Amino acid sequence: MPRIVRRERLVPNIHLLEVEAPEIASKCRAGQFVIVMPDARGERIPLTIADWDRDRGTVVCVFMAVGTTTRKLALLRGGDDIPIFAGPLGLPSEIRPFGTVLCAGGCFGIAAIHPLVRALKEAGNRVLVLVDVKAGYLLYWEDKLRALADEFIVSSRDGTYHSTDYVPRRVREVLERERVDRIHAVGCTYLMSSVAEATRPSGVRTMVSLNPIMVDGTGMCGACRVTVDGKTKFACVDGPDFDGHLVDWNELYARRKSYFDDEIRSLCAWEEENFP
Ligand SMILES: Cc1cc2nc3c(=O)[nH]c(=O)nc-3n(C[C@H](O)[C@H](O)[C@H](O)COP(=O)(O)OP(=O)(O)OC[C@H]3O[C@@H](n4cnc5c(N)ncnc54)[C@H](O)[C@@H]3O)c2cc1C
Ligand code: FES
């Protein structure tokens, strides 16, 4: 069974999980994800691979504790076993020498853009990194991303980092200032759809890493169905990266709410059991 090397709180509600997974570490690439199950009775959830160490055979994910499964994960510790840690899944992000690339990430997406930024730099691109946080104290991995980025920009709503804006305003500022050849946005659905709307008038290709509900992660169950350019796609095998200007965002928002009542019931029951 895969063993957790490290589980660490990075900022409130956001945790790092490093797992011994030599086979995954040996072949994973930017944009891919793993399916994780925190205990034998739990559900499987997808998490993006945020970093890896091929020599040590470990894989790092960063997750936000939003519901039952991510809260269970947040209680695990180094040395614990994890029943399922499967991957790498999904298609790797397209990496080429595009020119100037803007990578935007928010909440868990700040970590999820890290391998993307690294791979884009290695391919010879100029990479601008834009991270979105609600407040300055929620920013993590600043040093890691600054070390890779040609420019590091923060959008924060609390006035820190000279910013009181949400991410689309910062994206527009960059596009008004200079030519950008490609944009990647990773984070919650709201952040990605907002970035895609902000870049639509410019026509700059804007890739988003979609996060619909997933079950098997291998194209068998249909849970992750999305519509892109009018065609049905399964985010786990056809994505998760898609052109944000072609995604049917309304459908994605609606499908993500399918189990809302069950998710709340599950979280309440779990909290009552664990924090009586
Ligand atoms: C390909 C892929 C990669 C992903 N990578 C990551 C990752 O690297 N890190 C990560 O934290 N998450 C990631 N996600 C999302 C993650 O899988 C979900 O957050 C997780 O399944 C939630 O499970 P849960 O049981 O804790 O919460 P649930 O009970 O499923 O959800 C609880 C509530 O939180 C809401 N919610 C779910 N996700 C978010 C979110 N991100 N922001 C705000 N509200 C949310 C739900 O709508 C629901 O109302 C990814 C999803 C996909 C499809
Ligand atoms: S998660 Fe089952 S088809 Fe994608």
> With 90 as the cut, is the pLDDT of residue 117 above it?
yes
Give CA–CA dist 10/63, Å, rounded: 10
Q: Are residues 125 and 144 in the same domain?
A: yes
Percentage with pLDDT > 70 across the chain = 100
Using the mean position of ligand 1's atoms as its centre, give its distance from the Cα of residue 178 in Å. Answer: 34
Ligand 2 touching residue 221 (CB < 6 A): yes
pLDDT of residue 48: 98
pLDDT averaged over every residue in the chain: 94
Residue nearest to atom 44 of ligand 1 (CA): 66
Q: Are residues 108 and 154 in the same domain?
A: yes
Q: Are residues 128 and 201 in the same domain?
A: yes
Q: Are residues 82 and 104 in the same domain?
A: no
pLDDT of residue 158: 86
Q: Are residues 161 and 69 in the same domain?
A: no
> With 90 as the cut, is the pLDDT of residue 53 above it?
yes
Q: Are residues 145 and 51 in the same domain?
A: no
Q: Are residues 14 and 104 in the same domain?
A: no
Domain end: 59, 89, 119, which one? Answer: 89
Q: Are residues 202 and 112 in the same domain?
A: yes
Instruction: Give a yes or no: residue 72 inside a domain.
Output: yes
Backbone angles phi, psi at 177, to 5 degrees: -85, -35
The mean-pLDDT minimum among 35-44, 97-106, 116-125, 240-249 falls in 35-44
Q: Are residues 117 and 166 in the same domain?
A: yes
- Comparing 263 with 35, which gets the higher pLDDT? 35
Q: Are residues 72 and 156 in the same domain?
A: no
Instruction: Give a yes or no: residue 273 inside a domain.
Output: no
Give the tens place of pLDDT for each residue, 162-171: 777 789 999 9
- For 57, the domain range is 4-89
Using the mean position of ligand 2's atoms as its centre, give its distance from the Cα of residue 125 in Å. Answer: 33
What value does the mean pLDDT take over residues 72-78? 95
Strand pairing class (225-228; 151-156): unpaired
DSSP H helices in 123-180: 142-148, 167-177
Give CA–CA dist 248/191, Å, rounded: 15
pLDDT of residue 274: 85
Q: Are residues 35 and 13 in the same domain?
A: yes
173: CATH: 3.40.50.80
Using the mean position of ligand 2's atoms as its centre, give its distance from the Cα of residue 51 in Å. Answer: 23
* Tally of domains within the chain: 2
Give the tens place of pLDDT for each residue, 185-194: 999 999 999 9
